[in-house]
A and B are shown apart, each in its own frame.
Chain A
Amino acid sequence: DGGITQSPKYLFRKEGQNVTLSCEQNLNHDAMYWYRQDPGQGLRLIYYSQIVNDFQKGDIAEGYSVSREKKESFPLTVTSAQKNPTAFYLCASSIFQGAGNQPQHFGDGTRLSIL
């Protein structure tokens, strides 16, 4: 089945530690996205990538970094600079980005907590 796989499902971070969230898709989509979801806040865009080796900051990129070395993969690193990382992180993909009419497909999410 085609889809988006996020791992791990639960992740714990110690103070001062960087952690990386994995996102893999086999939908052959060009565009990929990372969102952060906090209770009652909806989804906020962290980073997005329209094509391999290219990515753009979203609305809340500070304290996060990404890479897009392969079309299938878009890992997100939560750095120690992100002071409030506890949240639910969702990865998504779409056929391409820019036309606005493409629905995004989402993974199951990773819940990150601070130890």
Chain B
Amino acid sequence: AQKVTQAQTEISVVEKEDVTLDCVYETRDTTYYLFWYKQPPSGELVFLIRRNSFDEQNEISGRYSWNFQKSTSSFNFTITASQVVDSAVYFCALSGMGANSKLTFGKGITLSVRP
């Protein structure tokens, strides 16, 4: 069975601080995909990034960066110089192939960025 653990439930930071959101996953598939989604107060989930299991290269997109480490089954998300607009719930998700191709979500991390 697939499982995603987001051990942090709520994080509160002051604007301009860096913050890292942790994600640990479990799967028996050799080919799998990891995702991060952002859910702002409006409710819609916004797709942020997808990584496949064969690509451990870290990725940076503006103030966002992702660190994928197969050795520790982790896919952590860092926001640099956080802003109030980053306040949202962030979900990490996992999908495999075939029967495991449906998304398995973690429980989400509520990030509050205070001015």
Hey, which bits of chain A sit against chain B, CB under 8 A?
40-45, 48, 58, 88, 90, 92, 97-101, 103-109, 111
Chain B residue numbers with a CB within 8 Å of A105 are 47
A-B residue pairs in contact (CB < 8 Å), sample of 22: A41-B107, A42-B105, A42-B106, A43-B45, A44-B105, A88-B43, A90-B45, A97-B101, A99-B101, A100-B32, A100-B95, A100-B96, A100-B100, A101-B33, A103-B47, A104-B47, A104-B103, A105-B47, A106-B44, A108-B44, A109-B44, A111-B43
Contacts A42-B91, A100-B98, A101-B50 given; 15 further ones with Cβ under 8 A? A40-B107, A42-B106, A42-B108, A90-B43, A90-B45, A92-B45, A99-B97, A100-B96, A100-B97, A100-B100, A101-B95, A103-B35, A106-B37, A106-B44, A109-B44
Chain B residue numbers with a CB within 8 Å of A98 are 98, 101
Determine if B102 is an interface residue (Cβ-Cβ < 8 Å): yes
Give the contacting residue for A109; candidates B33, B43, B98, B106; CB below 8 A.
B43
Chain A nearest CB: distance from B99 CB in Å?
Answer: 9
With contacts A42-B105, A42-B108 known, is A101 near B52, CB below 8 A? yes
Give the contacting residue for A103; candidates B50, B97, B107; CB below 8 A.
B50
A107 pairs with B102, CB closer than 8 A: no
Determine if B9 is an interface residue (Cβ-Cβ < 8 Å): yes
Across the interface, name the chain A residue whose C-beta is closest to B99. Answer: A98
Q: Which 8 A-B pairs have the closest CB atoms?
A: A100-B101, A100-B95, A106-B45, A109-B43, A42-B107, A42-B105, A103-B47, A43-B105
Chain B nearest CB: distance from A111 CB in Å?
Answer: 8
A43 pairs with B91, CB closer than 8 A: yes
CA distance A111 to B91 in the complex (A): 19
